[in-house]
């Protein structure tokens, strides 16, 4: 948050001039009038990419994600055409990365959409898994930075901030393939699902979220070093949260480029167990 007041050397207080050119802002998909667009996802189907447009009046920085749906069994993929970046390695379950206004999902690293070169948008693709038409409202909340309307000295500082923010972005990392643990079975060794970091950037994990049909235990194993992140398998509810209540790492987990982490699993539900796990991270484009 940009401070409202600043202090001069003589101790007097004045309004921060930058504050005059920043406003809170909600971004929805393109819709008629001022009504947030309802995206109707066909039963068991996938939408075309839905635009979330940002005009060139000011850049937009995202801090929260919120949603409402007829049925929460929805996957999303978020793509930024302006940078040609996907915000996830493959689609993730929406409740693992979004909350409500009462309990919004906080991005551990804000996502900046710089409109200096013209209007931009995010494109979101929705896939339904409920088996019925599904009405979804997805909202990004953050702040609008009107850098081009600011006086030169304020504009210079805002532009420097925008340029710095483009070196990092939030990222949602899920396993390379879908997960179903056999009833009372295990997925270990070559059968273990994999979280893969590509060669585009380093990935720093800050939170974990999940959905599952039942309880399971897990162990995270770095394949290159054979290090594990626990001395024994951990029950799922002690290592993974939800979009509204994520598990927040006290020490972030850096997954460097071209590095794989195995997700070793054992079912505790005595039934086939579908697991949807999301590592919430930031990507670092410093090399």
Q: Which helix (H) or strand (E) holds 152?
A: helix 152-165
Mean pLDDT across 184-188: 98
Architecture of domain 5-166: Sandwich (2.60)
pLDDT the model gives residue 34: 42
pLDDT the model gives residue 35: 52
Q: pLDDT at residue 188 above 90?
A: yes
The whole-angstrom separation of Cα 63 and Cα 140 is 8
User: How large is the greatest C-alpha to C-alpha distance in the chain, in angstroms?
Assistant: 71
Q: pLDDT at residue 228 above 70?
A: yes
pLDDT the model gives residue 151: 81
1/10: higher pLDDT? 10
Q: Are 69 and 136 in contact (CB under 8 A)?
A: yes
Architecture of domain 173-284: Sandwich (2.60)
pLDDT the model gives residue 72: 97
Question: Which of 73-77, 140-144, 158-162, 245-249 comes out lowest in average pLDDT?
Answer: 158-162
Question: In whole angstroms, how large is the CA radius of gyration of the chain?
Answer: 21
Mean pLDDT across 102-122: 93
List Cβ neighbours of 126 (8 Å cut-off, separation of 6 or more): 39, 41, 46, 47, 50, 74, 75, 76, 94, 134, 136
CA torsion 26→38→65→148, rounded to 10°?
A: -30
- pLDDT-based confidence at 23, cuts 50/70/90? very high
Q: pLDDT at residue 277 above 60?
A: yes
The whole-angstrom separation of Cα 141 and Cα 203 is 23
Q: pLDDT at residue 33 above 50?
A: no
Return residue ranges of the chain for CATH 2.60.120: 5-166, 173-284
Q: What is the pTM of this model?
A: 0.92
Q: What φ, ψ does residue 236 adopt, rounded to 5°?
A: -55, -40
The whole-angstrom separation of Cα 84 and Cα 173 is 17
pLDDT the model gives residue 67: 97
Region of residue 226 (left: phi > 0; alpha: psi -120 to 50; beta: else): left
Q: pLDDT at residue 8 above 60?
A: yes
Question: Which of 62-66, 157-161, 246-250 comes out lowest in average pLDDT?
Answer: 157-161
Mean pLDDT across 52-64: 93
The whole-angstrom separation of Cα 98 and Cα 164 is 26
pLDDT per position as a tens digit, 113-163: 999 888 999 999 999 999 999 999 999 999 999 988 888 888 888 888 877
């Amino acid at each position: 948050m940009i401070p409202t007041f600043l202090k001069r050397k003589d101790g007097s207080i004045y309004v921060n001039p930058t504050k005059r050119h920043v406003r809170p802002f909600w971004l929805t998909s393109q819709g008629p009038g001022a009504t947030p667009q309802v995206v109707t996802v066909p039963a068991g189907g996938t939408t075309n990419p839905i635009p979330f447009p940002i005009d060139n009046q000011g850049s937009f920085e995202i801090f929260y994600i919120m949603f409402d749906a007829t049925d929460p069994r929805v996957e999303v993929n978020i793509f930024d055409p302006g940078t040609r970046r996907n915000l996830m390695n493959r689609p993730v379950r929406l409740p693992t990365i979004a909350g409500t206004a009462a309990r919004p999902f906080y991005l551990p690293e804000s996502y900046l959409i710089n409109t200096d070169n013209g209007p931009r948008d995010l494109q979101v693709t929705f896939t339904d898994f409920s088996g019925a038409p599904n009405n979804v409202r997805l909202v990004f909340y953050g702040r609008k930075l009107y850098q081009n309307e600011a006086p030169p000295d304020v504009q210079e500082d805002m532009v420097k901030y925008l340029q710095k923010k483009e070196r990092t972005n939030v990222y949602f990392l899920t396993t390379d393939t879908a997960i179903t643990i056999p009833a009372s079975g295990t997925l270990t060794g070559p059968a273990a699902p994999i979280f893969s970091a590509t060669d585009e950037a380093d990935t720093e994990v800050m939170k974990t979220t999940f959905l599952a049909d039942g309880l399971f235990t897990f162990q995270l194993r770095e394949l290159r070093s054979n290090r594990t992140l626990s001395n024994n398998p951990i029950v799922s509810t002690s290592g993974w949260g939800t979009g509204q209540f994520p598990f927040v790492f006290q020490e972030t987990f850096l997954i460097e480029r071209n590095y794989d982490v195995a997700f070793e699993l054992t079912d505790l539900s005595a039934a086939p167990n579908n697991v949807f796990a999301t590592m919430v991270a930031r990507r670092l484009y410093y090399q």
